[in-house]
Amino acid sequence: MNKYLPPLIFIALFLFLWQLLPSFGVVNKQVIPPLLDVINSFPELFSYNNTYIPGGFNHHLYLTLFEVAVSYIISIAVALPLGFILGYYTILRDSFEPLIYILYSIPSPLLYPAIYLIFGLGYPSKIALGILLGLFPLLINVIAGFRNLEQIYFSVALSYGANEKQIFTKIILPGIMPSLMSGLRLSLSGVFIGVIVGQILASSDGGLGWVISFTAENFAVTQMFAAILITMLLVYLLLQTFEIIERKIFYRYLRR
């Protein structure tokens, strides 16, 4: 039997129930509209003359992608070099790691009000929230990648006369790559959460999170679900791309 068949059946069943239960009044249509209603609202959602979302949906989509991209780039630009330095120099790692873990273990919502105060209600605060949630997963994974490099790899390389550059390119880089890739994936997912939650909480210029919260406040549930569906699809596709790349590259030797 095809391994994709059972999960597909359940996805189909879920979508089917989403259509059926509200249609037959088992679930209140005013709260959860049938699936087809949501899908049928897509063309209107994307048109500029959208009655529910001022300025149309596209503006919010692009703004979100912009905030996510900037947060992600900054997260990588900070976490990657920092992770390499902390991973490479064990003295630095031992000094800074406790601080990193303390910062990481603080529930991030505690810092949200402060971030709004500092960065205002526009896109800078969303970018800051994105970084807040996107930076640590990558940083911690890169450091963990270094930690998981076995000492014997270095002994082997040294015994064959490898120089520092060769040890970096032939041992360290390939050795930490699996960790680094999952760090990049977790970081992207963190950035999305930070940005969208930030938009839901308070946003002067909109964004997908803002659309979801705004339509909910106005009981435009069909539009709300449409926005949720599109957001989910977007995040899913991006993260899935990552996973496929990861699997293609690393599956052959990480398989146990």
Partner 1 sequence: MSYAIELVNITKQYNSLQVLRNVSLKVEKGDFITIIGPSGCGKTTLLNIIGGLIKPSSGEIKIFGESMKSVMSDKIAIVFQDPALFPWRNVISNVEFPLEIKGLKKSERRSIAKKYIELVGLTGFENYYPNQLSGGMQHRVSIARALASGAEILLMDEPFVALDEQSRFALGQELLKIWENTGKTILFITHNISEAVILGNKVVLMSARPSTVKEIVNVNVPRPRDPEDARIAEIRKYLWNNIKEESQKQLVSVVP
Residues that bind partner 1 (CB under 8 A): 150, 152-153, 155-162, 166, 170-171, 174-175, 177, 252-256
Residue closer to partner 1 (CB basis): 117 or 152: 152
CB of 198 to partner 1, least distance (A): 38
Phi and psi angles of residue 47, each rounded to the nearest 5 degrees, phi first: -80, 150
Closer CB to partner 1, residue 37 or residue 246?
Answer: 246
Cβ-contact 103, 113 below 8 angstroms: no
Q: How far is the CB of 180 from partner 1 (least distance, A)?
A: 12
Structure tokens at 123: 């896109």
Shortest distance (Å) from residue 178 CB to partner 1: 8
Q: Which residue has the tokens 């009981």?
A: 219
In the complex, minimum distance from the CB of residue 256 to partner 1, in angstroms, rounded to a whole number:
6
Q: Which is nearer to partner 1, 140 or 171 (CB)?
A: 171
Between 8 and 147, name the residue whose CB sits nearer to partner 1: 147
Shortest reach from residue 163's CB to partner 1, in Å: 8
Please say which residue, 125 or 179, places its beta carbon nearer to partner 1.
179
